[in-house]
Structure 1
């Protein structure tokens, strides 16, 4: 049975033909390449190379890579995006829980704690978004499949709603405990849902299931 590998996310499919769509990243079948067994490779390498090909072959010129590109490669190699995204993803749910508790028990202290947590989330988002973009371009060759589109939209929603909530709480510190706090609570839930969906998709890319 043949094995096919998705060149976008690395998922391996077994079958006579590649799947119509990668079940992990959503890339179409044109992004799959056949994995050739070691025996087949050895058979091909045992064949003598034509003299004309030997004469024509020239050493490849050294590839110049800028310092910036080198840094980006290191970011992907050392998983800067998965590491950095855990920072706001851990603080953000706590902030929403504080907001809900503040609304239920009319406790402004929890609302203030949520405000500081949200500021921290907003400050960490630039690194998360930038490292995510670099990983998307370098590791997944910028493929814009359905899952990547969803993840990008969720990241934008989280960023926008987090900024809105910080500004809202700065202008009105009692927004969570006021009688007309339904819209405020709804924005919190939208932010939390978008962060959860983005994390779920990221997990699919990492664990390839």
Structure 2
């Protein structure tokens, strides 16, 4: 029992090391130019060991994205519990995510492409790892309960439409640039989207 526990802890530490090294290499040298072999070598593991923990390079990014969204979810929960208006919480979360994406511009395209991956299993894995729609749904739920949102669309559909739009705008901004910052692009986008879901 103890040896099993020790092995599990060793595996967790090895995975954490591979993850930390990979993310640092992605940020320093770029995602596209960093290979699984590079990550394995820098982590002092074999290439096969890397793939035991991460079946493809993009899976490391999904762990990273999952961490980011978990942080946003916890922040939103705290703000709502403190009595902050849902619309203010949504704007804050939206801007925090845009700021993070501005700092790590090169990581947006591979994350976005993973959500759109033609392999259905990989796309589902990415969708589960990056639950922006679920975070938005949690924030908007009090507005739905108070009758502020339109009733002809489900809360889930509205939340997913808002989340999907964020992803597409961020991808376009990252890949093609803009004369506006991502935060400004997202501020305008959110105002436009909320105009479409608020009850008239």
TM-score strictly above 0.5: no
Q: Which has the higher contact order (CA 8 A, sep 6+)?
A: 1
- Is the helix fraction higher in 1 or 2? 2
- TM-score, normalization by structure 2: 0.30
Name which one, 1 or 2, has greater alpha-carbon Rg. 1
- TM-score, normalization by structure 1: 0.29
- Is the strand fraction higher in 1 or 2? 1
